[in-house]
Chain A
Amino acid sequence: MLKYVLKRLLVSLLTLWVMFTLTFFLMHLTPGSPFLGDNKITPEIFANLEAKYGLDKPILVQYEKYAQNILKGDFGESIKLSGQNVGEIISRKFPYSLKLGLFASAIAIVIGTILGTISALKKNTSADRVIMLVVTIGIAVPSFVVATVSMVLFGVKLHMFPTVSNLDTLSSYILPGFALSFFPLSFITRLMRSSMLDVINQDYIRTARAKGLSERVVIFKHGLRNGILPVVTYAGPMVAGVLTGSFVIESIFSIPGLGSSFVTSITAKDYPTVMGVTIFLGTLLIFMNFLVDILYRFVDPRINITK
């Protein structure tokens, strides 16, 4: 097990390095500069700014310098928010995305699993049809529509929840949490439904019934444990994605999270921020996938990851 973890760690570092390099060069390949904005600046000022951030040096030199800083744990200074370290920006904004993301992930996984199971057990009944209708909408409708519609309906018209969420009360979580989790929830419901439909026709379910176990034990012990595997697979990257925040949701609900700064930094060509956030997101994603692989082993003993 330890050997596996170490091996996995090495592979992860390699992946991160490749991602880091690709992002770095792709970013610099795109034309333009962070300083060519709306304001006209003289060539002298432009040259000075380039020199300040080291952008006048050859690309390989920049790469080397940046890589060295990263290894020291220094993400560099943001170009747009001058004077602010990218590491600080992430640690300031990430907690908002994290809190909302955890809330949304928990909702998506728990409710998705339950709805999918109900749907499978009540296949072709009206309950199943209603659930399937709702989750099909959840998959088809983009999150900005879900967010604005729910905001107008429950926030503006019904005054049930706040429309601007600073995430300090539970009620402020509800609308952005719902908007963020609706798609993964719907996806998990569909995954769980098809997986449970397969599982409840398996021979071992018949064995469990023949043993005289109650239907509750048959479904929740013997069925769920087998049926949940595809959900575990999907949930890993999903959680990573949701945790790093959604630009759309955060913009609509005015949440000062990481998702919005990721997108604004790209349009502003704020190189250090783009790199910092990319590395952060990449690490999180790799970690979640690693976690999922470990989890597999506990959910299904037939999967032997160490081999």
Chain B
Amino acid sequence: MVKELLKINDLKVSFFTPAGEVKAVNGISYTLEPGKVLGIVGESGSGKSVSSYSIMGLIDKPGKIVWGSITFNGKDVSAMNRSERLNFSGNEVAMIFQDPMTCLNPVFTVGNQLAESLRHKYGKISKEEVRKRSIELLTLVGINVPEKRLSQYPHEFSGGMRQRAMIAMALAGAPKLLIADEPTTALDVTIQAQILELLKDIQKKTGMAIVLITHDLGIVADMADDVIVMYGGRIVEQGSVYSIFHNSRHPYTKGLIRSLPDLKKRGEKLIPIKGNPIDLLNLPKGCAFAPRCESCLKVCINHMPAEYATEDGHRTACWLYDERANNSGEVKNNG
């Protein structure tokens, strides 16, 4: 049996604001095997980014991990001391972010920032060694004339190039896991495709696992092995990429897939999911999606659904799959 690389168990993250406790992540659990690509989808505020920031220890005040555990390679991340923690970030898990325009420090050269990551990994290595490895990394991520690029500043790079540089920095520590937080959202479509190709390519070469956070189902379908769908800080459905797209069970996932534009049907209106994302300050007692759900049952409003699994590991948190569901009266939300 393959040992899991990352195991998240009942993780809860809250932000303690003056207005009250914002429950951004509400008890999520998942595992990731080495070398796999896990796609996490959800709309803004679904907790997908916050859950991955907590792996990296990037939750700032007033945010706090209030419950649950994160285990990486059999080691409890929260029990790490300071130096273990620093070694973990960058060398075990690396992260790339949404907006490459603002994620690189504008006052240091790309070479300088790359060297920082390399020194973090390899300790005190010579200047020539740093330079050699930096050029290798930039070549790997498809940056032309790397020798010249090293001495340039981020503002001399285009958006796509900056994301490539970010990826190079992430790869410098030879991490076992790369967390990509909407890596292509800020880029235009052609560059998006290139960056995704690059990530796929690198994933094949290095065999690292990727947690890919996105709201773009197309990207997930293209890259992920497994998919997690999040809503209101909870996982509503998880399974293999095939079963999520072909046998989606949760009404929210179905809604997401239905809302995708279809190239073959020209001139048809898009089908949105009605209603607004929920207020994380006032989470309902029951299923968070219930107010917007077209198949909402009475039980959904006041009781949290359990997870219902099929044999292939596809799990859905929805009362519709309870065996008692057919007997209870349906409360349909009509818009």
Contacts and interface: CB of A to CB of B under 8 A. Distances in A.
In this complex, the interface size class of chain A, counting residues with CB under 8 Å from chain B, is 20 to 34
Contact of A222 (B89, B99, B105, B153): B105
B102 A203 contact: yes
A302 B56 CA distance: 30
A204 B120 contact: no
Contacts of A225: 105, 107-108
A173 B121 CA distance: 48
Interface string A225-261: 1100000000000000000000000000000000000
Contact of B90 (A206, A211, A300): A211
B235 to A, nearest CB: 24
B38 interface: no
Contact of B103 (A203, A212, A213, A302): A203
Contacts of B90: 210-213
Given A301-B153, A302-B153, A210 B56 contact: yes
B157 interface: no
Interface string A194-233: 0000000011101111111110010001100110000000
A212 B86 contact: yes
Contacts of B86: 212-214
B313 interface: no
Given A212-B86, A212-B87, A302 B155 contact: yes
A224 to B, nearest CB: 10
A13 interface: no
Contacts of B37: none
B105 A208 contact: yes
A300 B155 CA distance: 11
Nearest to B156: A301
Contacts of B103: 203-204, 206-207
A299 interface: yes
A225 B88 CA distance: 26
A207 B169 CA distance: 10
Contacts of A209: 56-58, 89
A211 B106 contact: no
A47 B234 CA distance: 96
Candidate in A207, A211, A226, A299 with the most chain B CB atoms within 10 angstroms: A211
17 contacts: A203-B99, A204-B102, A204-B105, A204-B106, A206-B103, A207-B105, A209-B89, A210-B56, A210-B89, A210-B90, A212-B87, A212-B120, A213-B86, A225-B105, A225-B108, A300-B107, A301-B106
Interface of B: 56-58, 85-91, 94-95, 97, 99, 102-109, 116-117, 120, 153, 155, 166, 169, 173
Listed from nearest, the 4 A-B pairs whose CB atoms lie closest are: A212-B90, A212-B89, A203-B102, A204-B105
